[in-house]
Structure formats: C-alpha cells, structure tokens
Amino acid sequence: MKYRKITAVFRCDACKKVEQRLQALGVQGFSLSHIKGYGEYADLYSSDWMTSHARLEIFTETEKVDAIVEAVMESAHVGQAGDGIVAVQSVEKLYRIRTRSEIQTDEA
C-alpha cells in the first residue's frame, strides 16, 4: 500500500469545521497544531508581521488523498488572502512505534 503525507496550513477559526469534516470522512488520525508565520498574508499592523494559523498533518493511503484534500480545502476556504495551502508528499518509509515495525508502503 502506498502512503502520502498531507500537510495543510489554514486559518485557526476553521479548525473545528475541518476536524468535523475529516471525522465524517472516516479519517483515522491526524495531528493539528497552532503555528505562527506569514506568507501570502502578513499582518502589517503587527511588529513582526506574524499571523496565527493551524497546521494539519495526515499520513494516509494514496487512494484517500484526493477526498481528504478536497474536504480540507472546502472546510477551510473563506476566499481571502491567507486561507492557506495544502501539500501532498510521498512517504518513503513509515514505522509504527508501538510494534517497532515498518508499515509496508510498496514504494520500492
């Protein structure tokens, strides 16, 4: 089975909506953290331009990626600068710490 890592950065006020949508899709697990930074949108009124956003990380099977990406974009979309980004990366190896075993990714 091939795996991908989805990373999304979006507005903090969309966290609950994104979380509920992913749970409704049956996503088995994800990490959500609060971050600061600037990119397309910078807070020019702040002394350091920084804005608060959320970062979502999900490891999932390749065939689930499109549905998850669409759900995140739909849930986090406001239509303004600073809505965020979504990136999808290949996963070369994936390990389960509890069992100390490699999860087969069929990438080789």
Average pLDDT, the chain: 90
Domains, the chain, with CATH or none: 3-103 (3.30.70.120)
**Angstrom distances, CA of residue 46 to CA of 11, 19, 42, 79:** 17, 29, 9, 22
Q: Give the model's pLDDT for residue 108.
A: 47
pLDDT tens per residue, range 21-32 = 999 999 989 999
pTM value is 0.87
Question: How confident is residue 83, by pLDDT bands cut at 50, 70 and 90?
Answer: confident
Q: What is the mean pLDDT of residues 70-90?
A: 93
Q: Please tell me the distance from the alpha carbon of residue 40 to that of residue 94, in angstroms, as a whole number.
A: 32
Would the pLDDT of 89 be above 50? yes
